[in-house]
Structures are given as C-alpha cells and as structure tokens.
Amino acid sequence: QVQLVESGGGSVQPGGSLRLSCKASGFSLNFYSMAWFRQAPGKEREGVSCISARAGKVWYVDSVKGRFTGSRADDENTVFLEMNKLKPEDTAVYYCAEAQCSDSDYPSWNPRTWGQGIQVTVSS
C-alpha cells in the first residue's frame, strides 16, 4: 500500500524553525520527484517546494525562498522541508506529495499521491 506520512509540525513563534519529514512506504522514492504543499484556513492549497529525483534541483515559491530548504534521503525513503524564519502567514496544513518537478510544471507540480497533512502554526 502506497503511503506518505508527514511529521515534525507544531506551534512555533515568529522567527522560529521547524523541520518537516515525509516518509514513504509501499514504494521507493528514488525515482520520484516530491513536493510540499500547504493550505491555510480559507485559502486554496498552494505549492511550496519541489525536489527532483536524486535531488538534482529544488524549486521554491517566492514566498519561501531563502527561508525554506527542501532535501531528501533516499536511503531513508524520506523527504524533508527545513523551515526557518517562520512567519504567521506560513501557518497552514502542510502536505507532501509525489509530483512532477520541472520549470514548466512550476508551481502546480501536478501532485498525485498525497500525505494526510500536518499542522504548522506560527504565532506569538
């Protein structure tokens, strides 16, 4: 059974950091691009970052550039999103997904298999 499970969310003050993890089971991440999305209350889900297979390239939306870093550990079948200098507007449910990472797919990235999502709250 193909499954993606996010972890590492929580509550943090503005300026703080969190590291999200997304562990895959039922398939090997080695050959797949993976993306992170988020959905804030009352807003549509949006792409945040996308990392190509074998981490050849990472894409970011403008709102997180310089603050978020995507990475992957294929030997652990896991991808990560390091989030620094967090802002209240980063508050959302974050999802990982198997997706298509490319310049032409930016920033929708055509997600397919989704994780269940994890809450990130940035508040003082």
Cβ-Cβ contacts under 8 Å for 56 (sequence gap 6 or more): none
CA 124, CA 11: separation in Å to the nearest integer? 10
Per-residue model confidence as pLDDT tens digits over 14-23:
999 999 999 9
Cis peptide before 88 (omega within 30 of 0): no
pLDDT of residue 114: 96
pLDDT one-digit tens code per residue, 27-70: 999 999 999 999 999 999 999 999 999 767 999 999 999 999 99
Cα(6)–Cα(117) distance, rounded to whole angstroms?
6
User: In whole numbers, what is the pLDDT of the chain averaged over residues?
Assistant: 95
